[in-house]
Structure 1
């Protein structure tokens, strides 16, 4: 019901052409089953609040939400048609359910190109879901911009709802049913349920997980959070309850029109593939054997809820301060060891401990009689439910950070020591570990980690890789049933946990590990020495970095220089661009970290999938083919000028090399070189830094000879060059494995680049992922590459690989690879010609 009688102006939440509901390509929306409204074909990637109000409901998959305006009008905002089927991919929620929002506030950001390619239509809906209480008057605009009036809402003079007569209310009927609508009871199927219920005089309700909602309430139905295959109970009360029940059961059991059922692929039981082996996903490679040690989380007893409030608040305050102190110590250690990833993870944990919503939730529960332990646990779990409810794997993994804080604070509250006592060489198994668990286990020299759940991109996985701790995730619940102390083999690189290895297998693992350890030690001992092939060809092995701390790590690992400094690290996650002075200091810090070695600094490469909030770009149908890299200078030349000025002020300037991304023609290079010369004159500089071009589009590779005439060096970005050459998005889940830079077409472009550069005596490097692949090292050397820029930890390994090669043989054999039929064939030939020991 409306809260008051005020009229309301609903403003456009998106830019774009306006359509009537009748022109929407969806029967449910077009029929008005959800209510009266307007549609917009969006020209931007952010949905804004059309009015002030409270977020009543947020779709699990992040594609829709409902706002209750201050006058009681309930407005559903739905991005695209059938977008629920994307399961949250491409959507980022900027608000939470229950939040108060202001007119024009950003609510949902979405990947316009990705959503357009994967859903039925981008046409987005603005629906007045309680149209029985309000009237809608459109403004009749053909196109709108965010914030412009879209329609007016005014209360109806009478309500269409009424109470059942007493004699009708006595008849009841109920039944249970399993939901078959794809994606569960989201907006569209919920609208059909409501429309069905409105055809009967009986009052109908759905009941699920201890909650109920009237079938006449779209928001109530969506708010139940009913998923596909969930079982619900339907109850009807009134004169025609039996007829209403049967109609609702039919509506609940038939998929909505246009929903195409997807075949259910059931994963085979992990143990069925190979007896005595559980199969998971590699999070950090390595091969270890040892006794299994199972970690269990803290389980709390029932709470009598008769505690002294002040005492429990003090307990919570003390525990929080203790954990904050522990995290600050961890952060200090990470800063001293220059571990950037660890710093970022635990800085986020510290911020979460200060989150006002989290603290307020726990405090309120204590004030209502809960123990501090239970209040904290419940507050954390409520926040986890919000993240998990978004239906996105990345957010689900971030919920693990909250569970980490749950365990740490509970241990502090219960007085438990923050330590595990591990058997020597233990392989730790748990349902899901937390980042602080991982650090403690690493300190106690755990041999490996395996988890029933978890993801390969989680913070635990990141830390495990950084610590060199073999880790397998997603092994399934069976792993929790393995007896404590049982000796196992963890082959993390292949995602395997071998439950019953014999003595011969244990001996083999020990032998392999000893050989690997010795080899790593030998490689590291030679890391600072130059890399030369058998026949004396020198290969510079540099490092890809994104900060001065990463440059320090690269220098310590023996890098011959920085082959690629990604300057985007200065520009992202902030409200304004860094000024010239801040940029100069950051670039100088990288040069200082590398001693007397050269540093290649790439100018800002944004656009495509890398957007800056303070740098609005034109809406593009395909941003990856739009204003990216150096093309930005066409629309924002002042941004590049500022960066070039900052680069020209580093010292010594001769160690700084400038690299231009996304160049596709000679005129682009000539324009920047002229601009660079003008800035040098303006700053009264006699020196000119070397200027290079990234070869990451096929046009640049084909024009390499012409580009090399005016560039000082060329650097091949194999990641983008692969996707542009093969016409495959390297982030596409179904195609990513096929975007292989060892494809013969890519090798031909690399060969042509090196040949063109050689005519002008320019050197060519590779800074893409292919440079870090030891299998590709001989191929690249054979095609003429003289610099490889790799991740800092791989410098020693790639240098060692170079030293075991003959450049003349590499040249001879690599030419034959250009005629092979596929990347797979190239890889097989590489294994044959240059086996990895």
Structure 2
């Protein structure tokens, strides 16, 4: 096993395909927040020790354990994703905490089938949790059998240097008085930890007879250092003088209790207008009403002297109650097919069984803390770690942790949700959580405004989905607005008006009444055709992902389905749907749409959208990898089965097939040839129309050649935008700049339409731009004849079409191609075709 005192070769603890950490279907693991590592998709039902060592942690539900190797490397082995939901059922631990184990020794047995049926994924993790000291180097393997060499673990060069110099006499120390307001709580402790990690020397803090390593967040907080307390800092190692100077500075810099702005919060503009707070729009809308401030739970001082077993039982009971509540929320989200809400609360359920979180709370209780204080402190410590990582996605996850803090504390303190909102209240808070939002929405809050938060947060997503006006990043001033004061929330413009006049209130009410009346009128006309004033018919279809959504689209007046995303059939399961299941699902969508046509996109996975049962090569840049139609090149059987299912729907004339991520004419020709062969095989006399998605610049530039062989073209503006602008549309700092009204995008749309017209083919748009009323005249002017939008917007987009003149749209749209930016295009659109 050992190559020297510090390096060792790990044996595979499981058998199965090997995955890079970045391909694991869990954001926290994949991001490396827990440490470096890799994963195995297990084919066996036992977990084995990868090396000799000691078991230093066993998860309460038996799905994970941590082993410390003889060289000090600590390895977390976590079987499956979200396996906490099994509550220990299906897992049989063969070792206890503290056990000495040998390489290859069986540590755990688990029910492979049960995990596959009931959990998000069987993919199991091997994480090096102290990767700041050790380095894990995976061997180049695609698959492995348990016990075979899997990876090497060695002390990092900096850490090795530290070991060498720590035997020297180079050391330094100093006394310093803590000036952080409130003492060494989570945020200052995170600062000290980050400072210490920049040096190779061993650094410690000493107070009241206790000591803690400066790179241990929990250890620092556990010293109980208050504001004004004097501590001793010791540093030992080659760079001890520099480390001491940096730590003394970090300990003596006053950090107040002002709110910390998460990495993901949108930048807030200065409040320059008197009586107005300026923030960032998270969900549009205009409302007025009394302000209601929602406060967080404040705990009384902990008196100590608690029975640890009793407090652990309290915490366990509270955690289980909250898990039950979240499972109920998850079930409701699944019934409503609300994927975004489902993802958010599935993540919450996983966080509730995070080993680091539970271990921290458990240790605090064992050291005398009451359950509420132990839980609060554990959450705050984890939040500080996430915020300190400098990654927007993980910073947003800290708000999810605060959500769990509030939920569990309410149960522990016996505080059910007893908030009574005044009629039409606009709720203000430091930062709302997803469960807060669901509760407030159920109590008919009129709007939400927050001191912090980001426009890409989970709360923002939920608020938009519920049509609840929401403004974030207003600053701490919003918390000083008196309870009950009447305000106006102009969410679309990110404004909170603190002292609106009676006339302004009346104006807002008039605007809202006019908007509501117009929406009602649009809805009554939604089933009618969308004809421009000069007689051009624009088909307004819907984007859906299930037969239930198709039914909603039909009820909202859709002229057809412009995009059925078939991925809903393939994700969140352990095996692929068979041909019969697929055929039934596609038929159900056709049946829901009466006599209207349905465009069904073939499976668009791969790259960043992995399927557990469809292992693909690890890719350095998955967005540019095996996506969409390229998947057929490596797994033609998957597309073959889907095409067979599609060819068996009835009537076949109403089914159109759409191919994603096409970039070459040959790709289209190969699929068309295969479709013809299957039609012959199935003895079909007619063949469905075959279309191509235009979502990469190459396809737009080759539109004329593609149109020669395709029956129609459909532009996916979301992907086309990010590929053209070289900006990730999910990047928190760039997402606002990924605007499909950029002149470069408009030129590609114009070229697509011109190329299609040469062969008499029609062009649709199924990306988010089709749902933007400001873009409707531009798309019509450039030659688009079908817009596929979200079902609730069908009436609005049809109404927009009816107020336009197609000839004028053509004339004015060409001039937009010469503008300099998306902002300039939007301003011109507002001038030419103002939104009333």
- Which residue does the alignment assign to 2:811? 812
Q: Tell me the alpha carbon deviations over residues 406-456 of structure 1, each in whole angstroms, 9 at most, x when there is no partner.
A: 434544454445332222221111122233332332233222111222332
Q: Tell me the alpha carbon deviations over residues 447-481 of structure 1, each in whole angstroms, 9 at most, x when there is no partner.
A: 21112223323332222222211111222222111
The secondary structure found in structure 1 opposite 2:788 is strand
1:675 CA drift (Å):
0.7
Say whether residues 1:456 and 2:451 are aligned partners: no
How far apart in 2 are the matches of 1:237 and 1:820?
Answer: 62
How far apart in 2 are the matches of 1:395 and 1:769?
Answer: 26
How far apart in 2 are the matches of 1:771 and 1:6?
Answer: 62
In structure 2, the CA distance between the partners of 1:751 and 1:470, relative to structure 1 (3 Å rule), is: same
In structure 2, the CA distance between the partners of 1:45 and 1:816, relative to structure 1 (3 Å rule), is: farther
CA contact (8 A) 1:772 1:791 kept: yes
1:487 CA drift (Å):
1.6
Question: 740-749 or 478-487, which moves further after superposition?
Answer: 740-749
- Which residue does the alignment assign to 1:558? 557
In structure 2, the CA distance between the partners of 1:212 and 1:585, relative to structure 1 (3 Å rule), is: farther
Question: 743-752 or 799-808, which moves further after superposition?
Answer: 743-752
CA contact (8 A) 1:177 1:249 kept: no
- Which residue does the alignment assign to 1:174? 175
CA contact (8 A) 1:603 1:661 kept: yes
- Structure 2 residue ranges without an equivalent (≥5): 20-35, 41-48, 58-65, 85-96, 105-122, 181-187, 251-262
CA contact (8 A) 2:233 2:244 kept: no
Q: Tell me the alpha carbon deviations over residues 270-303 of structure 1, each in whole angstroms, 9 at most, x when there is no partner.
A: 6642222222221111111111111222323234
**Root-mean-square deviation over aligned CA pairs:** 5.2
- Which residue does the alignment assign to 1:114? none
Alignment of 1:125-524 (within 5 A): 147=149, 150=152, 173-175=174-176, 190=197, 192-194=199-201, 205-206=204-205, 212-213=211-212, 235=232, 246=241, 248-250=243-245, 272-305=271-304, 339-346=338-345, 373-374=372-373, 377=376, 388=387, 390-524=389-523
- Structure 1 residue ranges without an equivalent (≥5): 17-43, 58-66, 78-91, 110-123, 130-137, 198-203, 256-263
Question: 776-785 or 752-761, which moves further after superposition?
Answer: 752-761
- Which residue does the alignment assign to 2:183? none
- Which residue does the alignment assign to 1:654? 653
How far apart in 1 are the matches of 2:634 and 2:572?
Answer: 22
Say whether residues 1:675 and 2:674 are aligned partners: yes
How far apart in 1 are the matches of 2:413 and 2:154?
Answer: 56
How far apart in 1 are the matches of 2:561 and 2:469?
Answer: 29
CA contact (8 A) 2:753 2:763 kept: yes
How far apart in 2 are the matches of 1:781 and 1:772?
Answer: 13
Alignment of 1:4-153 (within 5 A): 9-11=8-10, 46=38, 69-74=68-73, 106-107=125-126, 147=149, 150=152
How far apart in 2 are the matches of 1:453 and 1:664?
Answer: 42
- Which residue does the alignment assign to 2:822? 823
How far apart in 1 are the matches of 2:606 and 2:209?
Answer: 47
How far apart in 2 are the matches of 1:223 and 1:477?
Answer: 31
CA contact (8 A) 1:193 1:251 kept: no
In structure 2, the CA distance between the partners of 1:431 and 1:7, relative to structure 1 (3 Å rule), is: closer
- Which residue does the alignment assign to 1:637? 636
How far apart in 1 are the matches of 2:389 and 2:208?
Answer: 18
CA contact (8 A) 2:266 2:453 kept: no
In structure 2, the CA distance between the partners of 1:480 and 1:727, relative to structure 1 (3 Å rule), is: closer
In structure 2, the CA distance between the partners of 1:307 and 1:439, relative to structure 1 (3 Å rule), is: same
1:221 CA drift (Å):
9.4
CA contact (8 A) 1:380 1:406 kept: yes
How far apart in 1 are the matches of 2:152 and 2:770?
Answer: 54
- Which residue does the alignment assign to 2:544? 545
- Which residue does the alignment assign to 1:774? 773
The secondary structure found in structure 2 opposite 1:540 is strand
How far apart in 2 are the matches of 1:70 and 1:357?
Answer: 19
1:824 CA drift (Å):
3.5
In structure 2, the CA distance between the partners of 1:369 and 1:406, relative to structure 1 (3 Å rule), is: same
How far apart in 2 are the matches of 1:245 and 1:706?
Answer: 68
Would you say how many aligned residue pairs link Structure 1 and Structure 2?
725
Say whether residues 1:527 and 2:526 are aligned partners: yes
CA contact (8 A) 2:207 2:232 kept: no
CA contact (8 A) 1:692 1:712 kept: yes
How far apart in 1 are the matches of 2:314 and 2:217?
Answer: 40
How far apart in 2 are the matches of 1:679 and 1:351?
Answer: 44
In structure 2, the CA distance between the partners of 1:314 and 1:667, relative to structure 1 (3 Å rule), is: closer
How far apart in 1 are the matches of 2:769 and 2:209?
Answer: 54
In structure 2, the CA distance between the partners of 1:125 and 1:213, relative to structure 1 (3 Å rule), is: closer
How far apart in 1 are the matches of 2:564 and 2:209?
Answer: 55
State the TM-score, normalizing by the size of structure 1.
0.72
- Which residue does the alignment assign to 1:260? none
Q: Tell me the alpha carbon deviations over residues 206-237 of structure 1, each in whole angstroms, 9 at most, x when there is no partner.
A: 4699984468xxx66998699xxx99998477
The secondary structure found in structure 1 opposite 2:484 is coil
1:694 CA drift (Å):
1.0
Alignment of 1:713-732 (within 5 A): 713-731=712-730
In structure 2, the CA distance between the partners of 1:386 and 1:595, relative to structure 1 (3 Å rule), is: farther
1:806 CA drift (Å):
1.5
In structure 2, the CA distance between the partners of 1:231 and 1:47, relative to structure 1 (3 Å rule), is: farther
How far apart in 1 are the matches of 2:167 and 2:668?
Answer: 76
How far apart in 2 are the matches of 1:677 and 1:190?
Answer: 63
In structure 2, the CA distance between the partners of 1:665 and 1:448, relative to structure 1 (3 Å rule), is: same
The secondary structure found in structure 2 opposite 1:687 is coil
The secondary structure found in structure 2 opposite 1:428 is strand
1:776 CA drift (Å):
1.3
How far apart in 1 are the matches of 2:228 and 2:679?
Answer: 71
1:175 CA drift (Å):
4.5
In structure 2, the CA distance between the partners of 1:509 and 1:209, relative to structure 1 (3 Å rule), is: farther
How far apart in 2 are the matches of 1:697 and 1:244?
Answer: 52
1:382 CA drift (Å):
6.0
Q: Tell me the alpha carbon deviations over residues 712-751 of structure 1, each in whole angstroms, 9 at most, x when there is no partner.
A: 1111122233333444444455654444333333333322
1:805 CA drift (Å):
1.0
